[in-house]
Amino acid sequence: MGKSQKQSRRELVEKMQRDQARGDKVRTRLIIAGCMLVGLAIIAYPAIKLIQDSRTRNQAITSLGVSASAASCDKVIDDKASGTQDHKPDGEVIPYPVSPPSSGPHYQTWAPLSKKFYGEGDRPPVPNLVHNLEHGYTILWYNETAMKDKDQVALIEQISKAKLPDSANGKFIAAPFKASDGAAWPKDKNIAFSHWSGNTPGQTTAFGHRQFCGSVSGEALKQFMDKYPALDAQEPNGG
pLDDT digit string, tens, across residues 148-169: 999 999 999 999 999 999 999 9
| Residue 43 or residue 128, greater confidence | 128
pLDDT at residue 232, as a whole number: 95
Q: pTM for this structure?
A: 0.77
pLDDT tens digits, 79-94:
999 999 999 999 999 9
CA–CA distance, 6 with 17 (Å, rounded to integer): 16
Q: Are 110 and 131 in contact (CB under 8 A)?
A: yes
Distance CA 72, CA 92 (A): 35
For residues 108-115, give the mean pLDDT: 90
Q: How far apart are CA 225 and CA 234, in angstroms?
A: 16
Q: What percent of the chain has pLDDT over 70?
A: 80
Higher pLDDT, 42 or 48: 42
Give the pLDDT of residue 104.
Answer: 97
Query: Binning pLDDT at 50, 70 and 90, where does residue 13 land?
Result: low
Phi-psi bin for 174: left (phi > 0), alpha (psi -120 to 50), beta? beta
Beta-carbon neighbour count of residue 154 at 10 Å?
11
pLDDT of amino acid 21: 64
pLDDT at 139 over 60: yes
In this prediction, residue 50 carries a pLDDT of 43
